[in-house]
Amino acid sequence: AATSGLGVYIDNKKELKEVIGDLFVIRIEAPLAPTDVFSRERKVQIKLFAEHLEYLCSDIITMNPNSIVEKEFSFQHKNEVSVVLIDALTKEQLDTTIIKKSGARDLGGLL
């Protein structure tokens, strides 16, 4: 069963469907919270998996209502990465998405 707490989710899933280059940013957001005392903050972690194995885990991030946090990661020679956002205390899965590395070349801002 899901625990009550501040709702936190991955905000930029659409951008992560096709990433150019080796670096990507995961943006997590916590919207305005209801007046519930348990919804004032939530400690979360971002875990990255490739080929069903965890290869990276972020530090613990404290999210407050109406906050946005961005974390930058590397593919580390992988073409597809699964991202899982978890509650750091309960280990409850809050959100997930797949990040795919694009075959297009990064022009470094040159167009």
Q: What is the pLDDT of residues 55-68, one digit of tens each?
A: 999 999 999 999 99
Per-residue pLDDT band for 108 (boundaries 50, 70, 90) equals: low
pLDDT of residue 1: 45
Q: What is the pLDDT of residues 6-63, one digit of tens each?
A: 899 999 999 999 999 999 999 999 987 665 666 688 999 999 999 999 999 999 999 9
Q: Are 63 and 42 in contact (CB under 8 A)?
A: yes
> Model's pTM, two decimal places?
0.84
Measured at the CA of 2, the angle between CA 92 and CA 53, to 5 degrees, comes to 25
Which residue blocks in 6-90 are alpha helix, DSSP H? 13-16
Q: Which of 78, 79, 88 is nearest to 28 (CA)?
A: 88
**CA dist list (Å): 15 to 11, 24, 50:** 9, 9, 19
Q: Are 51 and 68 in contact (CB under 8 A)?
A: no
pLDDT of residue 109: 53
